[in-house]
C-alpha cells in the first residue's frame, strides 16, 4: 500500500480489505499447537480475518477449566468468531455445490414420492386386514403424503425454473408456499382423524384384528420411512427438511398405531385403538401447525437473526479501508432465502466510478453467503443526516 509520504493525495487502495491476505505460510511463523487446537487454519487460503479475531478464540482445554457460565460465554464467542471469519464461497465451488445439492434434493423428493406410493398401498392392505382405526389413521396420512409430496415436487420445480419477466425476483418463495399448503393439508387430516376417533369411541367398541400380515406390512413401512428419514435429514434444503419431518412423524404414527392396535386386540380393550389414533393425530397437528407458523413468518419478511446481522456488518466494515462508516445493516427473509440491505458512508470526494465499483464488490461478497438471495448496497457521503427513504406507515 502506498505510504502517505510517497503520495500526499489520497489514492485508491490497490489492495482493498476485501482482497487483503494475511501473511502467507512462507512468511508467517509456523502454526502453534494452540493455533491448531482453536481451529486456526494452517493453510494459506481463505480465512478472512483483518481484525485478527481468531487470536481471541479460547482453546477448549482452557474453556473446560472455567465455571459453567464462563464456559457458555467463551463457547458462544468462539462460535461467533468462526461465523464472522468463515471463508466465502467462490463462484465455481458454489456452482458445483449447487449442482450436487440439487441432485441430492431431487433424489430425496422423487424417492419420497415413490416410497409414499408403495407405503400407501401397504398401509391400505394392512388397514383392510385389521379394521384398526389407528392403522386407518396412518393409511390416511400416507395418502395425504402422496398429495402433499406432489405439491412439494411441483413447488420445487417451479422454484428452479426461471421467468425473469413474470417473476423478476425469482421463484424461490414457491418452495415456502408449497410447504405452507403441505402443512395445511396435514393439519386438516389430523383434525379429521380426531373426529373419526371420537365418533368410534362414542358409537361402538369394535375390536381390531391385527394378524401377522398387517404387522409385517406396517413393519416394512416403518423400515422404509426410517431409511428415508436418515437420508433426508442430511440435506439442508428446506423442502427436504420438511420431508424429513414428515418421515419422522410417519415413523411415530405407524409405531404408535400398530402398538395401540395390538394392545386393543390382545388386551381385549377396543377403546385403545381410537385413543391411539387421537394421540397420533394430535402429534401431527401440533407439528404441522408449528411448521405453518414458522414458514408464514419467513414469507412475511421476518428479520434475520442477530448473529447473521453481525456477520453482514463485519463483512461491510472490513471490506475496504475507504469505507468510513457502516450506517445501517438490515437482513430479512423472503421465503427460505434472505435479502440484505447495507448503507455505507464513503469519502465525499470519491468519484462515482470508484464508489460504484466498491459498492458492487461488496454486493458480490454479501451475495456469496449461501443463504443470501439478493444484497443491496447504498452509498452515502455522510452519516449526520436524518434517516433517508423512510417508508410511510399506513394509518
Give the H/E segment covering residue 245.
helix 238-266
For residues 176 and 336, is the Cβ–Cβ distance under 8 A?
yes
Answer yes or no: is pLDDT of 161 > 50: yes
Task: Catalogue all structural domains in the chain, each as residue range(s) with its CATH number.
Answer: 21-84 (no CATH), 91-299 (1.20.1510.10), 306-380 (3.30.70.1350)
Could you give the percent of the chain with pLDDT greater than 90?
Answer: 15
Q: What is the pLDDT of residues 241-268, one digit of tens each?
A: 877 877 887 787 778 777 877 787 777 7
Tell the burial category of 4 from Cβ atoms under 10 Å away from its Cβ (0-12, 13-18, 19+): exposed
Cell of 45: 487460503
pTM score over 0.85: no
**Looking at 212-216, 297-301, 358-362, which range is the least confident one?**
212-216
8-state DSSP, 320: -
Q: How confident is the model at residue 10 (pLDDT cuts 50, 70, 90)?
A: very low
Mean of pLDDT over the chain: 76
The alpha carbon of residue 341 and the mean position of all alpha carbons in its chain are separated, in whole angstroms, by 20
Burial class (CB in 10 A: 0-12, 13-18, 19+), 119: buried
Question: What pLDDT shows up at residue 163?
Answer: 67
CA 349, distance to chain mean position in Å, is: 43
Torsion sign across C-alpha atoms 322, 368, 302, 162? positive
- DSSP-assigned letters across all residues of 213-233: HHHHHHHHHHHHHHHHHHHHT
Q: What is the mean pLDDT of residues 72-84?
A: 88
Q: pLDDT tens digits, residue range 209-223?
A: 667 777 887 788 788
Least confident of 3-17, 207-221, 342-356: 3-17
Amino acid at each position: 500500500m502506498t505510504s502517505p509520504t510517497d503520495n500526499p493525495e489520497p489514492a485508491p487502495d490497490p489492495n482493498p480489505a476485501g482482497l487483503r491476505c494475511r501473511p502467507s505460510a512462507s512468511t508467517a511463523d509456523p502454526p502453534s499447537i494452540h493455533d491448531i487446537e482453536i481451529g486456526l487454519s494452517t493453510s494459506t487460503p481463505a480465512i478472512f480475518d483483518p481484525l485478527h479475531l481468531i487470536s481471541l478464540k479460547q482453546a477448549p482445554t482452557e474453556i473446560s477449566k472455567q465455571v459453567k457460565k464462563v464456559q457458555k460465554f467463551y463457547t458462544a464467542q468462539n462460535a461467533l468468531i468462526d461465523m464472522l471469519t468463515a471463508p466465502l464461497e467462490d463462484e465455481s465451488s458454489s456452482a458445483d455445490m449447487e449442482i450436487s445439492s440439487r441432485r441430492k434434493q431431487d433424489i430425496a423428493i422423487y424417492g419420497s414420492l415413490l416410497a409414499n406410493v408403495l407405503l400407501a398401498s401397504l398401509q391400505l392392505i394392512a388397514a383392510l386386514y385389521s379394521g384398526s382405526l389407528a392403522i386407518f389413521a396412518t393409511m390416511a396420512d400416507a395418502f395425504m403424503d402422496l398429495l402433499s409430496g406432489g405439491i412439494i415436487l411441483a413447488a420445487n420445480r417451479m422454484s428452479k425454473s426461471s421467468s425473469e419477466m413474470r417473476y423478476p425476483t425469482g421463484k424461490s418463495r414457491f418452495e415456502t408456499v408449497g410447504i405452507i399448503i403441505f402443512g395445511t393439508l396435514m393439519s386438516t387430516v389430523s383434525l379429521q382423524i380426531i373426529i373419526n376417533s371420537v365418533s368410534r369411541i362414542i358409537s361402538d367398541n369394535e375390536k381390531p384384528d391385527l394378524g401377522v400380515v398387517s404387522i409385517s406390512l406396517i413393519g416394512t413401512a416403518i423400515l422404509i420411512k426410517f431409511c428415508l428419514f436418515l437420508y433426508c435429514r442430511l440435506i439442508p434444503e428446506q423442502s427436504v427438511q420438511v420431508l424429513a419431518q414428515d418421515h419422522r412423524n410417519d415413523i411415530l404414527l405407524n409405531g404408535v398405531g400398530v402398538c395401540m392396535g395390538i394392545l386393543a386386540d390382545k388386551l381385549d380393550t377396543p377403546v385403545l385403538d381410537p385413543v391411539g389414533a387421537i394421540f397420533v393425530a394430535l402429534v401431527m397437528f401440533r407439528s404441522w401447525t408449528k411448521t405453518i407458523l414458522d414458514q408464514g413468518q419467513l414469507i412475511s419478511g421476518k428479520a434475520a437473526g442477530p448473529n447473521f446481522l453481525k456477520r453482514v456488518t463485519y463483512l461491510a466494515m472490513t471490506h475496504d479501508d475507504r469505507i468510513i462508516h457502516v450506517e445501517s445493516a438490515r437482513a430479512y427473509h423472503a421465503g427460505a432465502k434472505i435479502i440484505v440491505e447495507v448503507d455505507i458512508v464513503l469519502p465525499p470526494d470519491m468519484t462515482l466510478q470508484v464508489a460504484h465499483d466498491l459498492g458492487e464488490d461488496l454486493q458480490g461478497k454479501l451475495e456469496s453467503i449461501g443463504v443470501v438471495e439478493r444484497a443491496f448496497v447504498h452509498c452515502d457521503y455522510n452519516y449526520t443526516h436524518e434517516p433517508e427513504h423512510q417508508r410511510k406507515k399506513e394509518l
